[in-house]
């Protein structure tokens, strides 16, 4: 049982989780070496990967959130949001798969490319698949025996943290399409899916908020915690974190989507201008319908 949670302990309480430290050292070291090998790599991607990705992962597992995750439902809820929504977004914005493609061993890159274009890769990369995984995971976590097992067994806890991070990474990889994907979808598809996910977050939060069932009640009662909110209020706080903070965590994702859409529209407009300029330089009328220049349809639509 950690000491009572206060503003001071919330800032000063840290834990040296071995698995988290290994993940950060290995992943962060690989990314840094790959960036040096690649050379011309956008600084914004590096900041997103280390600050938004590994930084959020460190806060979720090493800070007071990690210290109190087994004691307070609300702290575990904050950890789930960070691992499922915040850290993976930062990692995905760092474009790690593009970096691996450009700097990794040829044999490994070839295998990954085969998996990417396999039926499995196409199913996983489909936006609806990743969205279902993201929405279903918290429901399965809180309303099955999974959650009590996470609290009672360290190995299950560590594997669950990595699973949340991986599910979130697959989600943002397939939705942002910043890295290579088997098939590209218009970003408006992601916008509409995000609106549906907002409803899913609200449903989960409201269910935990107003449900008469206390998740892992036996475990929390056995702790004998004599400080902080009672079990009902703690679960209410956690429900609010999952609902409100979960939706707020999606705002940077929407911002990234809008940025990608703006850049792609500008790129398409530039390409159209280039084609029109080439046609004008060749003596073609830029207002001439495209089908009149098509070799197959030119005879059919020839002007009298």
Looking at the chain, list the stretches that DSSP marks H as alpha helix, in order from N- to C-terminal side: 7-12, 18-38, 43-47, 55-62, 64-68, 73-81, 87-93, 96-103, 106-116, 119-125, 127-142, 146-152, 154-176, 187-210, 217-223, 231-240, 246-249, 251-281
Nearest CA to 84 among 195, 171, 145? 171
Q: Where are the domains of the chain?
A: 7-283
| Predicted pLDDT at 131 | 83
Please report the sign of the dihedral spanned by the C-alpha atoms of residue 70, residue 84, residue 157, residue 99. negative
pLDDT tens for 214-255 read 899 999 999 989 898 999 999 999 998 888 877 777 677 767
pLDDT attached to residue 298: 54
Band (pLDDT 50/70/90 cuts) for residue 304 is very low
Give me the pLDDT at residue 290, please: 54
Find where tokens 């940077």 sit. 252
Q: What is the DSSP string of 11-54?
A: HH-----HHHHHHHHHHHHHHHHHHHHH----HHHHHIIIIIII
Tell whether the model's pLDDT for residue 79 goes beyond 60.
Answer: yes
Neighbours of 18 (CB within 10 A): 8
> How high does pLDDT run on average in the chain?
84
Whether residue 145 has pLDDT greater than 80: yes
Average pLDDT (254-261) is: 68
CA distance 154 to 301: 73
Record the pTM.
0.79
Q: Which residues contact 216 (CB under 8 A, 6 or more apart)?
A: 73, 147, 148, 151
Please give the pLDDT value at position 143: 92
Q: Cα angle at 117 between 114 and 120, to 5 degrees?
A: 100
Tokens of 134: 């993201």
């Amino acid at each position: 049982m950690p000491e009572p949670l206060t503003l001071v302990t919330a800032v000063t309480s840290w834990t040296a989780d071995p698995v988290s430290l290994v993940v950060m050292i290995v992943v962060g070291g690989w990314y840094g070496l790959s960036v040096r090998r690649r050379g011309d790599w956008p600084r914004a991607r590096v900041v997103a990967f280390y600050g938004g990705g590994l930084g959020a992962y460190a806060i979720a597992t090493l800070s007071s959130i990690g210290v109190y995750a087994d004691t307070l439902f609300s702290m575990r809820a904050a950890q789930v949001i960070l691992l499922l929504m915040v850290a993976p977004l930062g990692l995905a914005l760092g474009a790690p798969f593009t970096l691996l493609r450009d700097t990794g061993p040829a044999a490994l890159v070839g295998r990954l490319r085969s998996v990417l274009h396999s039926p499995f890769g196409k199913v996983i990369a489909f936006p609806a698949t990743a969205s279902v995984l993201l929405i279903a995971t918290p429901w399965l976590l809180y309303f099955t025996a999974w959650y009590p097992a996470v609290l009672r067994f360290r190995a299950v806890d560590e594997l669950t943290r990595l699973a949340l991070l991986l599910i979130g990474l697959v989600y943002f990889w397939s939705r942002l399409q910043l890295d290579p994907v088997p098939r590209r979808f218009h970003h408006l598809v992601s916008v509409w899916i995000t609106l549906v996910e907002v409803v899913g977050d609200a449903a989960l939060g409201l269910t935990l908020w107003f449900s008469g069932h206390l998740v892992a009640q036996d475990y929390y009662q056995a702790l004998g915690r004599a400080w902080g909110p009672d079990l009902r209020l703690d679960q209410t706080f956690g429900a609010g974190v999952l609902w409100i903070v979960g939706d707020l965590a999606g705002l940077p994702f929407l911002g990234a989507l809008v940025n990608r859409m703006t850049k792609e529209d500008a790129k398409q407009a530039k390409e159209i201008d280039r084609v029109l300029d080439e046609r004008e330089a060749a003596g073609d009328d830029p207002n001439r319908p495209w089908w009149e220049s098509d070799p197959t349809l030119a005879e059919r639509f020839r002007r009298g």
